[in-house]
């Protein structure tokens, strides 16, 4: 990789959950990692109301429709809570394609965020960071400024 490569040329935004104050489960929806060797999930929290908690788990499936959905072993965060002072935190989860159940053709993931107790402000960005092919799609990006 050269230092002249643009971030948006080699890192593809795969999916996201927009920042908001959430009280119900939010999912990215299943998307394929078929052309990606590694993905990075970035979770950023904002305000957490008193009593709020947040759990995040990565699910895997054999299709973007969620066929055979199951949790991806070892890919869930330690629960965040307002009581522990977890407001304004950033968590990064890395996923290698070979960590999925490739023997049984699992190649899609979903990020499942489960707030409970009270409202939690958060957003999720999922990037494909090691692509099989470049340049990558910028379809989900509103604008790229270089």
Residue 2 pLDDT class (50, 70, 90 cuts): low
Tokens representing residue 17 in the block: 């959950």
Specify the pairing of strand 120-131 against strand 36-48.
antiparallel
Convert the pLDDT of each residue in 55-100 to its tens digit.
999 999 999 999 999 999 999 999 999 999 999 999 999 999 999 9
For residue 141, the model assigns a pLDDT of 75
Domain 14-131 classification at class level? mainly beta
What is the domain partition of the chain in residue ranges? 14-131
Tokens coding 30: 């299943």
Give Cα 134 distance to the centre of its chain. Answer: 21
Q: Quick one: residue 10, left, alpha or beta (phi over 0 = left, psi -120 to 50 = alpha)?
A: alpha
Number of helices (H) and strands (E) in the chain: give both, helices first: 1, 10
pLDDT value, residue 132:
79
Share of the chain above pLDDT 90, in %: 79
Cα(87)–Cα(82) distance, integer angstroms = 6
């Amino acid at each position: 990789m050269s230092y002249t490569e643009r971030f948006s040329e080699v890192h593809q935004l795969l999916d996201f959950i927009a920042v908001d104050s959430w009280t119900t489960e939010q999912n990215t929806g299943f998307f394929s990692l078929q052309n990606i060797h590694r993905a990075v999930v970035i979770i950023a929290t904002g305000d957490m109301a008193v009593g709020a908690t947040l759990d995040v788990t990565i699910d895997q499936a054999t299709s973007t429709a969620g066929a055979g959905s199951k949790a991806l072993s070892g890919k869930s965060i330690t629960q965040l809570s307002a009581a522990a002072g977890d407001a304004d935190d950033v968590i990064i989860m890395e996923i290698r394609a070979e960590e999925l159940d490739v023997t049984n053709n699992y190649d899609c993931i979903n990020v499942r965020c489960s707030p409970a107790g009270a409202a939690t402000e958060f957003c999720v960005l999922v990037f494909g960071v090691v692509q099989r092919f470049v340049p990558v799609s910028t379809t989900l990006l509103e604008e790229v400024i270089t």
